Amino acid sequence: MMKFLFMMIFMIPLCFMMKMFWMVQMLLMLIMMLMMNMNITIMNFFNISYGYSLDIISLGLILLSIWICSLMIMASENLLKMKFYYNFFLFNIMFLLIMLFLTFSSMNLFMFYLFFEGSLIPTLMLIIGWGYQPERVQAGMYLLFYTLFASLPLLMGIFYLYLKVGSVYMYFLKFLNLNYFLLYLCMILAFLVKMPMYFVHLWLPKAHVEAPVSGSMILAGIMLKLGGYGLLRVLIFLQSINMKLNYLWLMISLVGGFYITLKCFTQVDIKSLIAYSSVAHMSLVIGGIMVMNYWGFLGAYLLMIGHGLCSSGMFCLANLNYERLGSRSMFINKGLMNFMPSMSLWWFLLLSSNMAAPPSLNLLGEISLINSLMSWSLISIIMLMLISFFSAGYSLYLYSYIQHGQYYMGLYSFYMGTSREYLLLMLHWLPLNLMIMKVDYTMIWF
């Protein structure tokens, strides 16, 4: 564990050197390849050192973090062209990656909390420093206050746990079964806001719309997964109380997920639509985790990985349109098939993965989640049916509205996609659709 951490720390000086922009990205890819070649033991924590270690859940999410961070650099070539503080941008990404790496690999609950909150700061920097509109400050405040307001009780809960049990190591906590209502509420509230659950999701569309492409990619790709990861870790020792109260979260996530899918049809900003679709997907993940059965945990994990790649790719596509047309409005982004037929193919591929078409990971995740939610209650099939149908609906709506029709007459200069952009999209789509070949790794971790 330490070797990867030190490699990332020693990469920080590279961020401030001349002509090292692409070098940093290549090194991140190298770390990715090194991590993928580690010996994996399925059942327990492995690579334990200094209170940090991995198991299958952490490994998948760390690999996703490194992958998305390297793709963020690839998507942000404009900063290099314009010489817009790109050194500090690289430093920001490296700092964020180190925080995420430590969050996912920490065995100590308090250290987990520390890095969980620490990852908020570079994200805030990204939104406020490189965002587009003046409202980005307000979006940053939304993000900060929603997250901080919910996570102070989590800190109190961890301290209380230490007082009662004498240890906050995740490995020891799995032998406990605490039946305290307030502790339960304190421990899961921060993660539900981070997911985000319906009712506490208002910070997300705002943050996405104002963030630069890299900010949107990391928010959709990793930040929402922190909540799911936290729930997977914490609910292990709050099982009995969760079995009593889970109907509440399940109802909110099912009804909220349906309502959000309807909300997607009213959006005129492409980024806003993709952001709301993330909330709909995450509501299914919350449902799967709260049911607390094997299929639910499995589906939640798979959908988190799948959604991370898929949503990040769609934000890249939205940004490519924005760089050309100078707008993200769906009234202006029309008839793009006439200009960029190849880009139209990538829109189709990523949107089809978003509506859980085979062979994407999203399909496997959603099948598992639907299985688990139906085992909890057969009535939930009504909402699941509506969510699945309408999520296919808004994906088709977005595709047909943008790609077809007559193009906007105000366009005056245009160019096709560059090889960098197509490579960026391919690196999102290939793992998303090829990982279904080796899905047995994710199927047997529990």
Please check whether residue 390 is in contact with residue 434, taking contact to mean a CB–CB distance below 8 angstroms.
no
In the predicted model, what is the mean pLDDT of residues 7-17? 94
Answer whether residue 308 shows pLDDT above 80: yes
pLDDT tens-place string over residues 140-163: 999 999 999 999 999 999 999 999
Residues 6+ apart with CB under 8 A from 251: none
d(CA 299, CA 305): 10
Answer whether residue 338 shows pLDDT above 90: no
pLDDT tens-place string over residues 368-404: 999 999 999 999 999 999 999 999 999 999 999 999 9
Residues 6+ apart with CB under 8 A from 126: 89, 92, 96, 211, 212, 214, 215, 218
pLDDT tens-place string over residues 50-92: 889 888 889 899 999 999 999 999 999 999 999 999 999 999 9
d(CA 238, CA 164): 14
- What pLDDT sits at residue 2? 87
d(CA 341, CA 362): 25
Answer whether residue 234 shows pLDDT above 80: yes
Answer whether residue 235 shows pLDDT above 90: yes
Between residues 191 and 37, which one has the greater pLDDT? 191
Please check whether residue 315 is in contact with residue 224, taking contact to mean a CB–CB distance below 8 angstroms.
no
Please check whether residue 123 is in contact with residue 114, taking contact to mean a CB–CB distance below 8 angstroms.
no
Give CA separation, 438 vs 56, 353, 432, 435, in Å: 13, 18, 11, 5
d(CA 353, CA 377): 27
- What pLDDT sits at residue 47? 82
Give CA separation, 161 vs 62, 67, 155, in Å: 27, 34, 10
- What pLDDT sits at residue 39? 73
Answer whether residue 43 shows pLDDT above 80: no
Number of independent structural domains in the chain: 1
Locus of tokens 């208002």 = 202
Mean pLDDT for the chain? Answer: 92
Answer whether residue 446 shows pLDDT above 70: no
Please give the model's pTM, rounded to 2 decimal places. Answer: 0.95
- What pLDDT sits at residue 41? 66
Please check whether residue 171 is in contact with residue 134, taking contact to mean a CB–CB distance below 8 angstroms.
no
* DSSP element (H, E) containing 216: helix 213-218
Q: How confident is the model at residue 325 (pLDDT cuts 50, 70, 90)?
A: confident
Residue 19 lies in a domain: no
In the predicted model, what is the mean pLDDT of residues 340-347? 93
Please check whether residue 253 is in contact with residue 290, taking contact to mean a CB–CB distance below 8 angstroms.
yes
Give me 295's structure tokens: 């299929």
- What pLDDT sits at residue 42? 64
Residue 8 lies in a domain: no
- What pLDDT sits at residue 444? 65
Residue 80 lies in a domain: yes
Residue 79: give the domain boundaries: 24-38+51-443
Residue 9 lies in a domain: no
- What pLDDT sits at residue 265? 95
Residue 269 lies in a domain: yes
- What pLDDT sits at residue 399? 96
What sign does the CA torsion over 163, 169, 170, 176 have?
negative
Residue 430 lies in a domain: yes
In the predicted model, what is the mean pLDDT of residues 32-41? 83
In the predicted model, what is the mean pLDDT of residues 218-242? 94
Answer whether residue 104 shows pLDDT above 80: yes
d(CA 72, CA 353): 20
Give me 162's structure tokens: 């230490």
Query: Shortest CA distance to 409 belongs to which of 318, 322, 329, 331?
Result: 331
DSSP-derived letter for residue 44 is S
- What pLDDT sits at residue 103? 96
Answer whether residue 445 shows pLDDT above 70: no
Residue 179 lies in a domain: yes
In the predicted model, what is the mean pLDDT of residues 8-15? 94
Q: How confident is the model at residue 326 (pLDDT cuts 50, 70, 90)?
A: confident
pLDDT tens-place string over residues 252-288: 999 999 999 999 999 999 999 999 999 999 999 999 9
Residue 398 lies in a domain: yes
